[in-house]
Amino acid sequence: MIFKINSYILITLLFLSNILYTQNIIVEGSVVDEFDYEVPFAAVGILKKNIGTTSTMEGTFSFLVTVNELDNELEISSIGFETLKINVREFINRKNKKIILKEKLTALDEVVVKAPINYVNQAIKLLKVNTISKSHQLNILYRRWDVEENKCRFFLEHFIKAIDQGPNSNIVRASVENIRKSSDYRFVKNQSQFHPLRYTEWSNPLRKGIRTKSYNWKKIGNSSYDGEDVLIFEGIDKEEAKITLYIGYESYKIYRLEYERDPNVGRYANSIWIYKKNISGKLYLSYMTREWVGARRLPENVKRTMISSGQKVKEFYPVSFRHELFVTKLIEEKSKFDNFLDMEQKDMSLYRVPYNKFFWQNFSVPPKTKVYKDNIKELESLYGVPIEKQFLYSN
């Protein structure tokens, strides 16, 4: 009897210690420069474990660790600044969670690139060498705001697991694991044929291939990233579409890509892709934001309702999608990949996954940025329903 009791106590203690050992601990703070200005899109994480996040436009960040990571190094790097390293436990115990990055001066001011297109071509040629080009798993938080007449009317978040092969190839498969969405206040209910993760892949100039000869290239500046000098190149085509590339001076690594296009000419108005290093220095996608701008005809029933209420009806109703993607974890060992089947391709709003409140309460959701708050405020103002209540009853 005593043996049975002791065995029960031992098993209970082991179970409790295991829970404590794997308990999530939040690492959160903000990244600023020496003048207290926020540093957006900084890579923040534990390089050794391939976990972390990217700071928001406001420089804020948050992600989860366990006690396993407390004695590891937290590394913060951003274009134009010196990389900073600090012990995870030490940072968590700090009262002031503000990380100050020092500007990294570059000696490349006098460097004149006589043929910028050759530099860009070389960077694209070395993509396979400079990025993780073998299969790797990315855990992704994907957000989309559906906007009609410049007002947010629907919001979705998907937690996705994807097997990627880098910018020289494709996303092999992906699975929507968890979902939460707001109430749907759209008039048009604009839908796409594929999950927007696919469009994120296809709209990336590095993946679809940059026709460098179609652009007029010039060097527009210098910077640095993680100890390497960086050259900034701008290319403009005949339709005034603009690509900006941040390329390592010696390595030819592309750390950041910006794409701008007049929405009257092309569908994608503004896009940014950020890449960060794994422990061996290979790059992988860390963050993406883009906007799709267009117009759709109103459904006939909506037209009738608007006319009967005395509203003016436009032939084409302005709509747009605002997208944001955060990579929350990288897994490189195939033996550690999660087992999942490729998802069926359809609009983001059509996936049916039971709402898991526990998951979202314990997931490393990025801080609420100004863009997030502004969109959610617009959404909540329509009928005065808080977003958390919308999540609860709309899922």
Q: What is the dihedral of CA 166, 169, 173, 177, to 10 degrees?
A: 30
Distance between CA atoms of residues 230 and 232, nearest Å: 7
pLDDT digits (tens, 9 = 90+) for 233-278: 999 998 888 999 999 999 999 999 999 987 665 565 689 999 999 9
Q: What is the pLDDT of residue 8?
A: 56
Bridge partners of 145? 155, 322
> pLDDT tens for residues 352-390?
999 999 999 888 888 888 889 999 999 999 999 999 999
Q: Is residue 7 scored above 70 in pLDDT?
A: no
Whether the CB-CB separation of 287 and 41 falls below 8 Å is answered with: yes
Amino acid 217: pLDDT = 96
* pLDDT-based confidence at residue 94 (cuts at 50, 70, 90): very high
What does the pLDDT look like over 51-60, one tens digit per residue?
Answer: 999 999 999 9
* Confidence (pLDDT) at 149: 84
Please state the domain extents for the chain: 2-100, 116-394
Based on the number of CB atoms within 10 Å of its own CB, is 240 exposed (0-12), middle (13-18) or buried (19 or more)? exposed
Q: What is the pLDDT of residue 215?
A: 95
Joined together, the tokens standing for residue 33 give 């420069």
pLDDT at 20: 44
**CA 355 to the chain's CA centroid:** 22
Q: Taking residues 336-347, report their average pLDDT.
A: 95
Q: C-alpha distances in angstroms, 338 versus 19, 41, 331?
A: 21, 28, 9
Other residues' Cβ atoms within 10 Å of the Cβ of residue 155: 25
What are residue 180's DSSP bridge partners? 157
Give the per-residue pLDDT at 238.
87
With 70 as the cut, is the pLDDT of residue 1 above it?
no
Would you say residue 347 has pLDDT above 90?
A: yes
pLDDT higher than threshold 80 for residue 18: no
- Residue 154 or residue 12, greater confidence: 154
**Which range, of 13-17, 59-63, 106-110, 374-378, averages the lowest pLDDT?**
13-17
Tokens of 233: 């190149």
The pLDDT value recorded for residue 265 is 57
Q: How far is CA 258 from CA 35, 360, 367, in A?
A: 25, 31, 23
Looking at residue 78, its pLDDT comes to 96
Share the mean pLDDT of the chain.
89
Question: How much is the pLDDT for 168?
Answer: 84
Distance in angstroms (rounded) separating the CA atoms of residues 75 and 45: 6
Q: What is the pTM of this model?
A: 0.88
Q: What is the pLDDT of residue 255?
A: 97
pLDDT band at 203 (very low <50, low <70, confident <90, very high): confident
**pLDDT over threshold 60, residue 12:** no
Beta-strand ranges (E) seen in the chain are 25-32, 43-46, 51-54, 60-65, 73-77, 84-87, 98-100, 136-148, 151-164, 171-181, 216-225, 228-236, 242-248, 254-260, 268-277, 283-296, 317-331
- For residues 378 and 152, the answer to whether their CB atoms sit within 8 Å is yes
What is the predicted pLDDT for the residue at 111?
66
**Residue 372 DSSP label:** H
- Per-residue pLDDT band for 170 (boundaries 50, 70, 90) equals confident
19 pLDDT band, cuts 50/70/90, is very low
Burial string for 304-321 (b: 16+ CB within 10 Å, else e) reads eeeeeeeeeeeeebebbb
pLDDT number for residue 16? 47
Residue 165 pLDDT greater than 50, yes or no: yes
Closest CA to 49 of 25, 62, 65, 61: 65
Q: What is the rounded average pLDDT of the residues 127-141?
A: 96
Angstrom distance (rounded) from CA 324 to CA 133: 23
Structure letter (DSSP) for residue 335: G
Residue 17 has pLDDT above 50, yes or no: no
Q: Which amino acid is residue 195, in one-letter code?
A: H
* Cα Rg, the chain, nearest whole Å: 23
**What is 2-100's CATH topology?**
Immunoglobulin-like (2.60.40)
Percent of the chain clearing pLDDT 90 (strictly above)? 69
Q: pLDDT category, 303, cuts 50, 70, 90?
A: confident
> Residue 187's pLDDT is what?
85
Q: Residue 347 — φ and ψ, nearest 5°?
A: -60, 150
Which band of pLDDT confidence, cut at 50, 70 and 90, is reported for residue 287?
Answer: very high
